[in-house]
Structure formats: structure tokens, C-alpha cells
Structure 1
Amino acid sequence: MSAVESVTFKNKTLDVAADVYFPDGFDSSRTYPAIVSAHPIGSCKEQTSGNVYGKALAEQGYVVLAFDATHQGASGGEPRYIEDPGLRVEDFRCAADYLVTLDYVDEDRIGVLGICGGGGYAATATMTDRRFKALGTVAAVNYGRMMREGDLSPDSAIKTLDAVAQQRTAEARGAEARVDDVLPSSPEKAEELGIKALDVVEATKYYRTPRGQQPHGVNRSLFSHAGPAIGYDAFHLAEHLLTQPLQIIVGGVPGEFGSYRDGFDLFNRARSTQKDIVVVPGQSHYDMYWKPEATQQALDTLIPFYNKNL
């Protein structure tokens, strides 16, 4: 089993908490390729980005850095539960800053992996930091697109931005912060509420049960700071700036969060001459987080991809 070390690195003045997964037989006098692994929206490093994909990639000879986003998990930053794309993408750059200070990391062989919203952020980070030599995504979601769609009405984004503005003004004047629990408290509660949406039901089964539950994977959101996400496009300028090798993996069962179509959108938009998309048949967005038959198929694609390009 690969060894794991908890570390911190800086994003400006904030401490970023991370776990480093080491290859079997790790020797600090050697150099290794490295992969930055990014968690989904509302998740944490102890969930799929670390304990599933990070662990498995380390077993294949990679140093893997799985980190908590700033303002989330065990990382620093107040107020809590901010989901700001600018901050999220800078976390990746700072992760690269940390890796290049380690003598045992080959700075010319650093890749990145992102799951769900972490995949969208990983795409932006790869476009704007050339130290990332290869990009892999699993069930990547363009979080800005998802936020803009909201209730699917033509003015959904405008209505949300109006509400955000009102809440931010209220908080500036001393009102209590609005922190939303974006999932039901349990699968039973979801059933009681009559929720039928596949992704919401399966997210609840993952985050609110022992299947994936972790203390920092809370899926909470500070509503007054949602504005930047609504104006964000994770794939903006991919036609011009995303040239690195790209491997996209999506579950074959589409859900409401849109990772299936976002995967094809990124594939079509990316300038990369070496790019590929794999659809894992019969598996949903959340199956790709934990279900062995789904994650193994993803890893069976990712491992040779990184072996070739790092």
C-alpha cells in the first residue's frame, strides 16, 4: 500500500491542506512524475480524488498531490464554503509551485487530474499553467454552465445574481450569512422530499452515507459569494490555450449535472492534437467516484495516458 503524508503549502497567505500519496518503495533520492488530483464541488481530498484515484495512481509510480480547495475542507480561508473559480484555479498553480520545490519530483513530468467540478478547474489551470504537461478528467463539470442553468428558465442566471446581490448587501450590513446545504441530509430525506433527479439522489447516497462520507466533504455553499461562479466558463479559450494531451472520461448514463455533455464540449473545444474521450457504459456520474467497476475502467484509461505523456 502506498504511503501517505499530510502537508500544507501556500496560496498567498492561506494554508492549503494536502495529502501526498507516494509510490511503493519510494526513494527520495530518485525523481518521479507527479499528478495533482482535484476533488469535486463540495468534496474533499479524502474522498475520490485522494483515496480512490490518488491511491491508485501512486501504486503505478506517481507522486500524487490531492488537496483541499482554499476556504474548504482542512485548508485555510475565511469565510468558509466559498466556491470561487478564480481561487480554485489558483490552488492548482500553487500546488505546482509546491511540487517543483521537491527534489524527488521531476518538474517536466507534472500532470493534473480533476473529478467533477475539479475537472473543469483542472482544464482552466492546464490552459494557464504550462507546467502541467497532461490533463485527465473524470466526469468533469463546467461549474459555471451548471450554475447559469439553475432552474432552466431563460433568466435563471439573472434571477440568481439578483438574489446573490441582495444577500451580499444584507451580509455587508450585518445579516447572518446564508450557507446552503446543497444536498438532503440523507437518502431517506431525499425520498421524503420526492427528489427523483438521478445526480442528486446518487450524490446524497455518496456524501451522506458511509459510501463516501468524510468530515470535510460537506457540500455546503456560501450563497453571497456565488457570483464569480455564475460568470465562469471552465473551458473558455480552450480552442486557443489548451494544447496539452487530454484524456476525458465520462459515465455513459447522463445526469442532471451535465458531466456527459460537458465532456464532449471540452473534447470538441480543446486545441489539443492528442485528445481522447472514453464513455464508460452503464455508469453514472457518481459511479465514477467510487464504484470499482467504474473507477477501474477510468484508471485503465488514465494510467497508460499518463505513462505515455509524463
Structure 2
Amino acid sequence: MSTIQTVRYQNLGWEVAADLYFPADFDAAKQYPAIVSTHPIGSCKEQTAGNVYARALADEGFVVLVHDASFQGASGGSPRNIEDPAIRVSDIRFAIDYLQSLSYIDAQRIGAIGVCGGGAYTIHAGITDHRLKALVSITGVNYGRLIREGFAQFQPRQLAQQIADMRTAQAQGAARDSADLLPPSVAAARDAGISDIDVLEATEYYKTARGQQPNGATSQLMSFTGAAMGWDAFTNAETLLTQPLMVVIGSKAGGFGAYRDGWEIYSRAASEHKQIVVAEGWSHYDLYDKAEPVAIAMAEVAPFFHKHL
């Protein structure tokens, strides 16, 4: 069984908290291929990116680093609960830096995997950081698109103005309040008339013992989301995304848009070696932790990384 070591390392002006997952037969005198694993929006390193995918990849012989995003979880940074795509991508770069400083890591054999928003952040990192040699997106969501569409109820200019008003009020003394992105329970969501499969299943994952973790806040400081409004995960993919790429999606599409985003980046990537895996009959949140769809994903992901790292 894989073992875990919690580490801290320097980011910009704060430290990052991360877990290193090691293969069962780990020997620090040897060198290993490594993988950076990036958690979803509102999540933390102890959830799907860590306890499911990092563990499974460590069992395959890789050293896997899964970090808490800056301003979130056990990582530093203030104010808390900022979700800034540029910083989330920068977090991946610092994770690569840290791995490349370790004597037991082969600095030329580092890949990356991410889940939900973390999947699109992983792709965006790979577009301009070619230290990453292979990329996997698990039900990846383009956060910039989601903000402009679903979060904004397809009225992005109005949301931009609301964010500007919140930021102005806070600059003048108003409290910085983080908003919970999800209803408190599935029952509350249904009572509110919510029927979207992604919202209901996200609530069932994050708000129950199934996936709930102390640092999985599902909260966001909405006044700081202006940076996401003009961001796009797939910019320049046609030119610069050349690494081997695997995109895993479920066939049951929901409102967060992983199904459409998966097909979009698969079609746009300049990668010579690219593959899309569709888990038939499974949804976005099924791919977080349910045994059968995770097995479908790992049956392709593990050989992909073994081949390209």
C-alpha cells in the first residue's frame, strides 16, 4: 500500500501544504517518475485528487504530489477562499519546482492530472509549462467559461458589475464574506427547485460523509472572482499544447459542462498523441470516487502515464 508524507514548500509569498504519495516499495536511493495532482474548485488535497487518483497512481509506481490550492485548505495566503485561475495554475508550476528539487524524482519525467476545475488548470499549465511531459484531465471543467455562463446565469456583464460593486464595498470597509457554492443538502437543493445533476451530485459528495473533509470548504470569496471572468483554460491549445493528452469524461452531461469542455479540448489540442475516454452511463461526480467509473478511468490513465513518463 502507498504511504503519504505531508510537506510544505514556498509559493509566492506564502507556503503550500501538500501530500506526497509514495509507492509501497519506495526507495529514496532510486529515481521515480512523478505526477502533480490538482484538486477541484472548492475541494482540498484529501479529496478525490488525493485519496482516489493520487493513491491509485502511487500504487502504479509513481510519486504523486497533491497540493492544497493557495488561499485554500492548509495552504497559506490571505484573504481565504480565493479561486483565481492564474494562481491555481501557478500553484502547479510551484509543485513542479518542488518535485524537481527532490533527489528521488526524475526531473524529466513529470506529468500532471487534475479533477474538475483542476483538470482544466492542469491543461492550461501544460500549454505553457513544458516541464510537464504528459497531461490527464478527469472530468475537467473550464472555470472561466463556467463563470461567464452558469455562475453568471448567462449574463456575464451583469456579474462583472456585481463583482466590481462587492470589491468597491469591501475596499470601503464592508466585510469579506465567502459564499458557499452549494446548497446545504440534497433535500434543500430539491426544495429550492434545483434539478441539475451536477449541483445535486456535488452536494451529495461534498455535504455528506461520502466526500466531506474539514478543508473541503466548497466556499469562494466571490468579490475576487473578477480575474476568472476573462480567463479561458484552453487559450493557445492549438499552438502550444503538444504533450500527450488524455481527457476522461462521463457520458451523463450536467450543468458544469465537463462533457462539452472535454470534447472541445480534445479537438483543439495540437498534441500528436491524444485520447478521450468516455465513461458510458456515468456522471461528473461518479468519476470522483465511485469504484466502477474510477476503474474505467484508471484502466486508461495508468498505461498512459507508464507510456509517456
TM class by smaller structure: over 0.9
Would you say the 8 A contact 2:146–2:257 is kept in 1?
yes
TM-score by length of 2: 0.98
Residues 69-108 of structure 1, C-alpha deviations (whole Å, 9 max, x = no match)? 0001110010011000111000000000000010000011
Computed over aligned residues only, the root mean square deviation of the Cα atoms, in angstroms, reads: 1.0
Would you say the 8 A contact 2:152–2:158 is kept in 1?
no
AA of the residue aligned to 1:125? A
Would you say the 8 A contact 1:150–1:157 is kept in 2?
no
Written as runs of structure 1 = structure 2, the 5 A alignment for 1:76-225 is 76-150=76-150, 156-225=155-224
> Residue 308 of structure 1 corresponds to which residue in structure 2?
307
Gaps (5+ residues) in structure 2?
none
AA of the residue aligned to 1:86? A
Would you say the 8 A contact 2:150–2:255 is kept in 1?
no
Structure 2: how far apart are the matches of 1:64 and 1:84? 23
CA apart distance, 1:127: 1.1
CA apart distance, 1:15: 0.7
CA apart distance, 1:22: 0.1
> Residue 62 of structure 2 corresponds to which residue in structure 1?
62
Aligned residues: 309
CA apart distance, 1:176: 1.0
Aligned-partner SS, 2:215: coil
CA apart distance, 1:178: 3.0
Written as runs of structure 1 = structure 2, the 5 A alignment for 1:251-270 is 251-270=250-269
Aligned-partner SS, 1:282: strand
> Residue 28 of structure 2 corresponds to which residue in structure 1?
28
After TM superposition, the structure 1 stretch with the greater mean CA deviation from structure 2, 179-188 or 54-63, is 179-188
AA of the residue aligned to 2:215? H
Would you say the 8 A contact 2:30–2:104 is kept in 1?
yes
Residues 46-90 of structure 1, C-alpha deviations (whole Å, 9 max, x = no match)? 000000000000000000000000001110010011000111000
CA apart distance, 1:153: 5.9
Structure 1: how far apart are the matches of 2:115 and 2:9? 21
TM-score by length of 1: 0.98
Aligned-partner SS, 1:233: coil
Identity percentage of aligned residues: 52
CA apart distance, 1:218: 1.3
Structure 1's consecutive aligned runs of 4 or more residues displaced over 2 angstroms after TM superposition are: 150-154
After TM superposition, the structure 1 stretch with the greater mean CA deviation from structure 2, 7-16 or 67-76, is 7-16
Would you say the 8 A contact 2:189–2:200 is kept in 1?
yes
Structure 1: how far apart are the matches of 2:5 and 2:185? 32
Would you say the 8 A contact 2:112–2:132 is kept in 1?
yes
CA apart distance, 1:152: 7.0
Structure 1: how far apart are the matches of 2:213 and 2:88? 20
Written as runs of structure 1 = structure 2, the 5 A alignment for 1:223-242 is 223-242=222-241
Aligned-partner SS, 2:272: coil
Structure 2: how far apart are the matches of 1:259 and 1:150? 12
CA apart distance, 1:151: 6.3
Structure 2: how far apart are the matches of 1:273 and 1:37? 23
Would you say the 8 A contact 2:150–2:256 is kept in 1?
no
